[in-house]
């Protein structure tokens, strides 16, 4: 359940239209698997594919923005951010900024059969997507001296903090922890911490805690790498669904070895957002069975299953589970 109202969705004849942006690396293969899975469970979703990759083409960003503004919803693969090219602005960041997709929501849950540092993790990470380290304002004032400017504003801190508390209340979560670096960035992160702490008083049913980011990272651990977790981006009007970590998996392209879990879960998140809860549940249960009871694990989580084996097992499970929902 999400706080706040969002824009209208494109729905004609009982079917939703969503924008699909395959992106770079394994994105195109993964979007293909999502489309197959949606087809097998008769999810009422039409995909409108638009291309946006790191290879710059004049105007394609405008086309993507136009499509997302029309449909209200998109699912995307990641776009290479080209570390080695300082002049190249990350198109993922550009897209989030242009659509003002200010809230990034990532649900980390342990899968019992997948080895992880901690058991029973169930954490929702809520992150501001548009300012702070994402300001992207840098210049080399003289050779060898770089200034990186991190901008934070009361307005946007309040917006994301409010979102976190409202999310906690709506979803019955116990505690909100503000993760910060206010021990060093006393003004910027200090403001964030102060606002989060003050706002906690308005939510007496939610416990407040705070943690320095280094400590939080160490305590949280991982739930098993880039192939497992999905991530959602929300603005006031639009929603974009993608994988939780922004990897492209370029080295895995065409090998049928990538873990499709993160992408399939992004598809499930999107179905829930569209109100297609039955289809979301069927896919989610079917994938869970494939990963746990049936042990279809790709290489990244210690198995030898192929991508298509995970997808096919999920489809078989769906066909068995579907009648229960009819
Ligand atoms: P690259 O683009 O060089 O493959 P990334 O930064 O995109 O690297 O990904 C980091 C690592 O995570 C790589 O080793 C990549 O193979 C792996 N990885 C990314 N996505 C997946 C996935 N869906 N399943 C398994 N491994 C993945
Ligand atoms: Mg990559």
How does DSSP assign 34-93, residue by residue? HHHHHHHTT--EEEEE----SS--TTHHHHHHHHHHHHSEEEE------TT-TT---HHH
Q: Assess whether the C-beta atom of 235 lies below 6 angstroms from ligand 1.
A: no
Which atom of ligand 1 is closest in space to residue 248's alpha carbon? 7
Which atom of ligand 1 is closest in space to residue 261's alpha carbon? 23
Answer for the pair 75, 23: CB distance below 8 angstroms, yes or no. no
Give the whole-angstrom CA distance, residue 241 versus residue 60: 19
Place of tokens 């922890």: 177
Q: Assess whether the C-beta atom of 251 lies below 6 angstroms from ligand 1.
A: yes
Angle, vertex CA 30, rays to CA 27 and CA 32, nearest 5: 110
Would you state the pLDDT for residue 103? 96
Give the whole-angstrom CA distance, residue 4 versus residue 156: 15
Answer for the pair 41, 96: CB distance below 8 angstroms, yes or no. no
The tens digit of pLDDT for each residue in 125-161 reads: 999 999 998 888 899 999 999 999 999 999 999 999 9
Kindly report the pTM of this predicted structure. Answer: 0.94
The tens digit of pLDDT for each residue in 57-76 reads: 667 889 999 999 999 999 99
Would you state the pLDDT for residue 8? 83
Nearest CA to ligand 1 atom 15: 249
ipTM over 0.90: yes
Would you state the pLDDT for residue 57? 67
Would you state the pLDDT for residue 116? 82
Which of 289 and 117 is assigned the larger pLDDT?
289
Q: Which two tokens stand for residue 116?
A: 């992880």
The tens digit of pLDDT for each residue in 164-180 reads: 999 999 999 999 999 99
Give the number of the ligand closest to the Cα of residue 54: 2
Which atom of ligand 1 is closest in space to residue 243's alpha carbon? 23
The tens digit of pLDDT for each residue in 28-56 reads: 999 999 999 999 999 999 999 998 888 86
The count of C-alpha atoms lying within 13 angstroms of the C-alpha of 24, restricted to the half-sphere facing its C-beta, is 18
Would you state the pLDDT for residue 84? 83
Would you state the pLDDT for residue 82? 83
Computed from CA positions of residues 264, 267, 273, 275, in that sequence, does the dihedral angle turn out positive or negative? negative
Nearest CA to ligand 1 atom 17: 249
> Would you say residue 83 has pLDDT above 90?
no
Would you state the pLDDT for residue 58? 64
Q: What is the mean pLDDT of residues 183-194?
A: 97
Q: Assess whether the C-beta atom of 233 lies below 6 angstroms from ligand 1.
A: no
Answer for the pair 136, 98: CB distance below 8 angstroms, yes or no. no
Q: What is the mean pLDDT of residues 85-100?
A: 88
Percent of the chain scoring above 90 in pLDDT: 77
Would you state the pLDDT for residue 119? 86
Answer for the pair 272, 278: CB distance below 8 angstroms, yes or no. no
Q: Assess whether the C-beta atom of 27 lies below 6 angstroms from ligand 1.
A: no
Q: Assess whether the C-beta atom of 248 lies below 6 angstroms from ligand 1.
A: yes
How far, in Å, is the centroid of ligand 2 from the Cα of 200? 38
Q: What is the mean pLDDT of residues 230-235?
A: 96
Tell me which residue of 169, 167, 161 sits closest to 124, measured CA to CA: 167
Highest-scoring range by mean pLDDT, 1-10, 115-124, 209-218? 209-218
Answer for the pair 314, 283: CB distance below 8 angstroms, yes or no. yes
Burial class of residue 120, CB neighbours in 10 A (0-12, 13-18, 19+): exposed
Q: Assess whether the C-beta atom of 307 lies below 6 angstroms from ligand 1.
A: no
Q: What is the mean pLDDT of residues 173-200?
A: 97
């Amino acid at each position: 359940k999400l706080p706040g109202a969002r824009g209208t969705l494109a729905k004609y004849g009982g079917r939703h239209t969503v924008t699909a942006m395959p992106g770079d690396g394994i994105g195109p293969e993964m979007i293909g698997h999502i489309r197959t899975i949606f087809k097998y469970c008769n999810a009422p979703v039409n995909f409108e594919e638009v291309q946006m990759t790191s290879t710059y083409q004049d105007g394609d960003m405008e086309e993507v923005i136009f499509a997302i503004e029309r449909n209200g919803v998109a699912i995307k693969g990641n776009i290479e951010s080209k570390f080695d090219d300082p002049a190249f602005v990350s198109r993922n960041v550009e897209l989030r900024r242009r659509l003002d997709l200010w809230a990034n929501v990532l649900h980390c849950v342990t899968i019992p059969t997948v080895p992880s540092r901690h058991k029973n993790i169930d954490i929702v990470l809520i992150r501001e997507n548009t300012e702070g380290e994402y300001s992207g304002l840098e210049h080399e004032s003289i050779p060898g001296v770089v200034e990186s400017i991190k901008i934070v504003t009361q307005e946007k801190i309040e917006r994301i903090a409010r979102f976190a508390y409202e999310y906690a209340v709506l979803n019955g979560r116990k505690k909100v922890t503000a993760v910060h670096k206010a021990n060093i960035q006393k003004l910027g992160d200090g403001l964030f911490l102060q606002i989060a702490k003050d706002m906690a008083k308005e939510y007496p049913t939610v416990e407040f805690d705070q943690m320095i980011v280094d400590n939080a990272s160490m305590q949280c651990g991982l739930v098993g790498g880039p192939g497992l977790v999905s991530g959602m981006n929300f603005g006031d009007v639009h929603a974009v669904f993608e994988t939780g970590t922004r990897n492209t998996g370029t080295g895995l392209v065409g090998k049928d070895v990538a873990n499709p879990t993160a992408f399939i879960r992004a598809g499930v998140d999107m179905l829930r957002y569209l109100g297609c809860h039955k289809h979301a549940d069927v896919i989610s249960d079917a994938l869970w069975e494939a990963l746990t009871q049936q042990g279809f694990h790709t290489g990244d989580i210690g198995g030898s299953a192929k991508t298509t084996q995970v997808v096919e097992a999920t489809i078989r499970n769906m066909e068995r589970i579907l009648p229960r929902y009819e």
